[in-house]
Amino acid sequence: MPTSRSVVIGVDSSTQSTKAVVVDADTGALLALGRAPHTVSGTAGTRESDPGEWWTALAAAVRAAVREAGVPAGSVTGIAVAGQQHGLVTLGADGHPLRPALLWNDTRSAPQAADLAARLGGPAAWLKRTGSVPVASMTAAKWQWLREREPERAAAVAGVRLPHDHLTELLAGVAVTDPGDASGTCWYGTGDGAYDPDVLDLIGLDPALLPAVAPGGATPVGTLTPAAAEALGLPRTVVVAAGTGDNMAAAVGLGLGGAGLLDHPVVSLGTSGTVFAATRARPADPGLAGFAATDGVYLPLGCTLNCTLAVDRFATLLGLDREDAAPGGDVVVLPYLDGERTPDLPHASGLVTGLRHGTDPRAVLGAAYEGAAFTVLRALDQLLAACGLDPADPAVRDRPLRLIGGGARGRAWTGTVRRLSGRPLIVPAADELVALGAAALAAGAVTGEDPVALATAWGTGSGQVLPPVERDGATWDRIAGVLAAATPALLS
């Protein structure tokens, strides 16, 4: 392969693994994929990981991808990291983590979130300041939990980072974040594009402990440090982009934002279920995360805690293959095995109702799919309304959903979303949209080009179009009725 070929690396550091893609910077061709696992520990609301594992996994995934691609190390020109959002990484004076990171789905900080949400003027004021109302997943609530539960450790903190910030700092030696990932902290103001001093004062967080905010995820922030170059087996000349959060990178990979498509909704089916749209409007809805995108527009997002992992757990309990599901019929499952974020039910547990002696186990599994899909699609309707769109308007309902994430490859997931939404779907052919979006950020850092335009030219968001099927309103209404009746108990 000619050494003049320019390739870039996009890294997706997610909850359970790291994936690294090697991409031809000119054509967007995916040359190779490397991956390495992470360990998540904790039960009963605790979810933690050792940030050291993320770095080890990143190095292993990058080396594997470069080796599989068969490209000379010298042909790699740029790298960017997209990471799981909200996680709290606390660094000591030596730059090493003081404790395992609190992950986005750690719900122990629910009481702190509720207390914060009631202060500074209440939810409406939080929406105006940061675009989001504090919930257990937000980093501000996790920091407050640490101050209350581990005050000596909090007092020793010399740096506060998000997962992607931490990895970018290890790559380039610079403490930097971007507007997209920063907007998931609840201490960054999406309106004025800066850390909110009143919020930082409220939670006792010195702004000197925080990374600088780059203008965007494609901003070049340096080149590889000697240690990073050695760990990755790459030259020190590789440009490091600021990077962003995983949802923001997925939007870039889909060609959403900037001068690209706006107000086109996305449903992502992964460990969590997310819905988002790139928009120039700055919506204010207490049930949504009013994120910034990484490139100057907004990325309002609804997130559910229980998606593919919860449904897979039901399949395991029932002794079924995950695809061996049937419509739930009278059975309704609210698969809130880890509490829930949207709706905000952090202490909820799973609920199953409608069982009979003759109930087919496949129907119970199908009802788990339906309950998870309902929760995600209900968040989608909320998001569309916040963007000034009527979810019941045929012109809005006929607009295709872009279905991404691991669940988008599953027959049962795809069928359930089609049936409950009644909408056409676009299932992109690319499997690694977060990593590909990060690769576009890396390419943008090298060339100065708009990463959304690059991803659009690469065609990473294109794929199969599935026509709509008749909407199953009866199942939707049945689940909605059970949720409404059960909510008081789920809140306790």
DSSP of 307-337 = SHHHHHHHHHHHT--TT-----TT-EEE--B
Q: For residue 471, with 0-12 CB atoms within 10 Å meaning exposed, 13-18 middle and 19 or more buried, which class applies?
A: middle
* 3-state SS, residue 92: coil
Rg (CA), the chain: 22
Query: Which residues of the chain have a pLDDT value below 50?
Result: 1-3
Those residues whose C-beta lies under 8 Å from the C-beta of residue 439, and which sit 6 or more positions away, are: 8, 9, 10, 21, 23, 80
**Position 79 in a domain:** yes
DSSP character at residue 408:
G
Instruction: State how far the Cα of 383 lies from the Cα of 351, in Å rounded to an integer.
Output: 25
**Element (H or E) spanning 146, and its range?**
helix 139-149
SS (H, E, C) 44-80: CCCCEECHHHHHHHHHHHHHHHHHHHCCCHHHEEEEE
Each residue of 253-279: pLDDT tens digit?
Answer: 999 887 666 778 899 998 889 999 888
**Position 421 in a domain:** no
Please name the amino acid found at residue 142.
Answer: K
* 3-state SS, residue 202: helix
* 3-state SS, residue 88: strand
Widest pairwise Cα distance in the chain: 68
Give the dihedral sign, CA 372/374/379/384.
Answer: positive
**Position 129 in a domain:** yes
Dig out the tokens for 463 from the structure. 């794929």
DSSP of 77-126 = EEEEEEE-SS-BEEE-TTSSBSSPEEPTT--TTHHHHHHHHTSTT-HHHH
Q: Say if CB 323 and CB 311 are below 8 A apart.
A: no
Each residue of 431-490: pLDDT tens digit?
Answer: 899 999 999 999 999 999 999 999 999 999 889 899 999 999 999 999 999 999 998 887
**Position 141 in a domain:** yes
Instruction: State how far the Cα of 492 lies from the Cα of 481, in Å rounded to an integer.
Output: 19
Instruction: State how far the Cα of 83 lies from the Cα of 244, in Å rounded to an integer.
Output: 7
Among all residues, which ones are annotated catalytic? Answer: 246
**Position 420 in a domain:** no
Domain of 182? 7-248
Cα torsion for 360, 364, 367, 369, to the nearest 10°?
A: -120
Pairing relation of β-strands 17-24 and 7-13? antiparallel
Which has the closest alpha carbon to 332: 281, 369, 283?
A: 369
The pLDDT value given to residue 2: 42
**Element (H or E) spanning 266, and its range?**
strand 266-269
**Element (H or E) spanning 239, and its range?**
strand 239-241
Other Cβ atoms closer than 10 A to 295: 28
The pLDDT value given to residue 288: 87
User: What CATH number corresponds to the domain at position 19?
Assistant: 3.30.420.40
Note the pTM of the prediction, 2 decimals.
Answer: 0.87
* 3-state SS, residue 244: strand
Residue matched to tokens 């440009």: 239
Q: How far is CA 291 from CA 83, 283, 297, 392, in A?
A: 15, 9, 9, 24
Instruction: State how far the Cα of 395 lies from the Cα of 401, in Å rounded to an integer.
Output: 13
The pLDDT value given to residue 1: 40
| Structural domains of the chain, count | 1
**Position 125 in a domain:** yes
Q: For residue 39, with 0-12 CB atoms within 10 Å meaning exposed, 13-18 middle and 19 or more buried, which class applies?
A: exposed
The pLDDT value given to residue 259: 67
* 3-state SS, residue 17: strand
**Position 92 in a domain:** yes
The pLDDT value given to residue 221: 98
**Position 167 in a domain:** yes
Instruction: State how far the Cα of 117 lies from the Cα of 124, in Å rounded to an integer.
Output: 9
